[in-house]
Amino acid sequence: MSSASHPRGLYLLFATEMWERFSYYGMRAIFVLYMVKALMFDKARAADIYGTYTGLVYLTPLIGGYIADRYWGNRRAILGGGVLMALGQFLLFFSATLYHDAAATSVMLMYAGLTGLIIGNGLFKPNISSMVGQLYPAGDKRVDSAFTLFYMGINMGALLAPLVCGTLGDTGDPADFRWGFLAAGFGMLVSLALFTLLKNRFLVTPAGAPIGMPPSHAANRAAQGRNSGPLTQEEISRLAVIFIISGFVIFFWAAFEQAGASLTFFAEEQTDRSLLGWTVPASFFQSINPVAIVLFAPAFAWLWSRLGRAGREPASPVKMALGLFFLALGYLVIAFGVNGLEPGVKVSMLWLTGLYLLHTFGELCLSPIGLSLVVKLSPARFTGLMMGVWFLSQAAANKFAGMLSELYPEPHLPAPSLLGYSIHNLHDFFMLFVFMAGAASLVLFLLSAQLRRMMQGAG
């Protein structure tokens, strides 16, 4: 294998994660629409449930990473989590099948399905991410590139999911939501099948030792460099960077994850979705981001590599501050587009497309860089747990995103407010995210030099 190539296990993890993300994002694309149009929940209740669900989805990886590090190993955690997520999607299918004739049972099944997805994701998500880093020896320069490729797998699934599940489920007939959930369930089964059949063949170290085994397995201990000694000062300093960076990404994801709630409401109600005589389903707009990820990720990978060879590559915290800046810029664009917009008046879909494109640039500066940074800064015996900490920040962010979505202005209701800031219209709503992400970007940029020293040369 040449120094520039990647182990075959990376492509197995790519495919496994792609289909799992297809399942997750397929469900997400139609979930708030299902609650509002089929279960007849109001927007505030739907946004609250959505925020709680997505928050818990990213909270449980902290537990799942600990279970894998201490007891099960990555492989068992991924398999167990995958089974629970598939079950959760099929429970949502039955919920959407019964919503008309047995409303109470339908709601109960919905909550049961969400529980399966939450617990299953907690076992699956941190462990498949941490396995990417285990495929490479310590100090291998290919790790950033590996995570960029892995991130493309995530977004291939996210690209396909709204198109397939939205086409099947978001038809205008509430009875069809079940077919979107069913497709998401089958996507999870494909992910499980690929991992189960190929894990023993491809998930090995360069020396051929299996990775992701229970921590008591001798080969796994040797492969991952596990030990029980106390943390060194260097390790403590690096771990502190993970916690600090995780605090900043809360502001990123709280604004970014409006895609599943408030921005879906905006696409549904105030975006002109007519295209060549066809009305684009609101759920389809969630595919813009992953399409742009697939198109632009190679360009960003090339840019970082080119700057690195010239000795001018920004440090990871600077890249992440840039990500927050692009996020703020995206909301500034759409705030301009809706300024003075009367209720019921629809705007061109180009405004929402522009927002998602700029958010994609921000995501490419922040998310894969953060995943790679966690692997590089964590002691091997804590990688799964620290990946859980990384997702813990996304848990807080997603719950915060749901709370912020509840502030989405409704013409017939009193103006909501946050910390004295009143939101009378969509311009006020979107400017809230401009201020939030812009301030976080500036502070992180100012702290970047200190964070780089704390990283002690690792990233």
- What is the residue-averaged pLDDT of the chain? 86
Q: Does 140 reside within a domain?
A: yes
Give a yes or no: residue 1 inside a domain. no
Instruction: Tell me the pLDDT tens digit for each residue of 83-108.
Output: 999 999 999 999 999 988 888 999 99
pLDDT at 2 over 50: no
Task: Please state, in angstroms and rounded to a whole number, the distance separating the CA atoms of residues 330 and 326.
Answer: 6
Per-residue confidence (pLDDT) for residue 103, from 0 to 100: 87
Domain assignment present for 254: yes
Let me know: does 93 contact 177? Beta carbons within 8 Å. Answer: no
Cα–Cα dist 13/1, whole Å? 18
Name which residue leads in pLDDT, 19 or 420: 19
Q: What is the CATH number of the domain that holds 422?
A: 1.20.1250.20
Extract the tokens encoding 449. Answer: 């030099």
Could you tell me the sign of the dihedral formed by the alpha carbons of 97, 103, 104, 107, in that order? Answer: positive
Query: Which has the closest alpha carbon to 203: 456, 15, 407?
Result: 15
| 2: in domain | no
Number of domains into which the chain is organized = 1
Residue 191 domain-assigned (yes or no): yes
Give the per-residue pLDDT at 437.
95
pLDDT tens digits, one per residue of 246-287 = 899 899 999 998 887 889 888 888 889 888 888 888 888 888
* Model confidence at 458: pLDDT above 70: no
Taking phi over 0 as left and psi of -120 to 50 as alpha, with beta for the rest, 162 belongs to alpha
Range of the domain at 392: 8-454
pLDDT of residue 3: 43
The better pLDDT of the pair 327, 211 is held by 327
pLDDT at residue 403 greater than cutoff 90: no
Residue-level length of the chain:
459
Q: What is the CA radius of gyration of the chain?
A: 22
Give a yes or no: residue 381 inside a domain. yes
Residues 6+ apart with CB under 8 A from 21: 153, 154, 155, 156, 157, 158, 161
User: Tokens 């020396």 label which residue?
Assistant: 207
pTM given for the model:
0.77
Residue in the structure block whose two tokens are 């959930």 = 181
* 80-112: b (≥16 Cβ within 10 Å) or e: bbbbbbbbbbbbbbbbbbbbeeeeeebbebbeb
Distance (Å) of CA 329 to CA 256, 326, 410: 12, 5, 24
CA distance linking residue 116 with residue 80, whole number of Å: 11
Residue-wise pLDDT tens digits, 172-215? 899 999 999 999 999 999 999 999 999 988 888 777 888 888 87
pLDDT digits (tens, 9 = 90+) for 407-433: 888 877 788 888 888 888 888 999 999
Please enumerate in sequence order all residues whose Cβ is within 8 A of that of 389, keeping only pairs 6 or more positions apart, or say none.
62, 65, 242, 243, 246, 374
What distance in Å separates the CA atoms of residue 60 and residue 123, rounded to the nearest whole number? 7
Average pLDDT over residues 75-90: 95
d(CA 425, CA 411): 8
Query: Is 57 among the domain residues?
Result: yes
